[in-house]
Amino acid sequence: MNVAVEWIKKGLLEVQEYVRLCTAALKGVVTRPRYWHDIVEQFEVIGIGSLTVVLLTGFFTGAVLALNTGITLDQFGARSFVGRLISASMIKELGPVLTGLMLAGRVGSGIAAELGSMMVTDQINALRALGTDPIRKLVVPRLLAGFFMTPVLTIIANAVGIVGGWLIAVFQLRVASSLYWTSILEGLYLEDAWMGLIKPFFLGFVIVTIGCHVGLRASGGTQGVGRATTNAVVASSVAVIAVDFFITRLLITLMY
């Protein structure tokens, strides 16, 4: 019983500290001072640095989706609809979620390891001693970069995934190129595009804030940094799936 109580208390404390971090970070976004050099640097690290893994993930996801759906649609004589299915799947669901999972693995772990290392070596305390707010200096630039670059990376993943599906549809499934693109245009609705564009903002926010929270809570030397990195990846990945579900449910209620 005592173990369960302690576990609940620890969980509630983590939630409380996470909410405090998010509140302080959002306050730092809209107030001065702002560290523009760090903001631009994080846009490059999180955005451009993640481009390769997002391109590869998007391309092969679209390609394998075309292969599998082509075989299934053949059973109903509907191979020509493969473009519609790929575009809807990538834009509404697979693009945002897979991009979020890739960023959770790359960005979330990197943030947790970097901030965790600074925490266990007392660099965070040194910043405070110099009169610098660690939230404004370290968290806000990463929050802005994750919030704005995740939708951009998602759009790129969607585009590359559709192109990957097009290559498989044309050269493997023998679907006419014009028929593939026409199917996409006819089957894609404005609500689907909005859904695929809105969700990445929330996913980017969750990934970065969890990475920062876990990193700033790290303790116990190098082993603590390792645990923080692992926890950040696990928590961010689960949060991506959970947030995707709740945002999808909300958007379906509002749009359809």
Q: What is the pLDDT of residues 101-110, one digit of tens each?
A: 999 999 999 9
Question: Contact 188/81 with Cβ under 8 angstroms?
Answer: no
How much of the chain exceeds pLDDT 90, in percent? 60
Residue 174 forms part of a structural domain: yes
Residue 15 forms part of a structural domain: no
From CA 14, how far away is CA 133, in angstroms rounded?
21
Residue 12 forms part of a structural domain: no
Read off the pLDDT of residues 196-240 as tens digits, 9 standing for 90 and up. 999 999 999 999 999 999 999 988 888 889 999 999 999 999 999
Instruction: Tell me the one-letter amino acid at 16.
Output: Q
Residue 52 forms part of a structural domain: yes
Q: What is the pTM of this model?
A: 0.92
From CA 35, how far away is CA 50, in angstroms rounded?
22
Task: Check pLDDT > 80 for residue 21.
Answer: yes
Residue 216 forms part of a structural domain: yes
- Count of domains for the chain: 1
Mean predicted confidence (pLDDT) in 73-99 = 86
Task: Output the six-digit token pair for 89.
Answer: 């799947």
Task: Check pLDDT > 90 for residue 183.
Answer: no
- Domain span at residue 120? 36-255
Residue 195 forms part of a structural domain: yes
Residue 1 forms part of a structural domain: no
Q: Rounded to a whole number, what is the distance in angstroms from the first to the last CA of the chain? A: 46
pLDDT for residue 122: 87
Question: Contact 189/89 with Cβ under 8 angstroms?
Answer: no
Task: Check pLDDT > 90 for residue 98.
Answer: yes
Q: Which residues, 6 or more positions from 98, have their beta carbon under 8 angstroms from its beta carbon?
A: 57, 58, 61, 157
Residue with token string 């631009």: 40
Mean of the per-residue pLDDT values of the chain: 90
Residue 3 forms part of a structural domain: no
Reported as a pLDDT band with limits 50, 70 and 90, residue 1 is: low
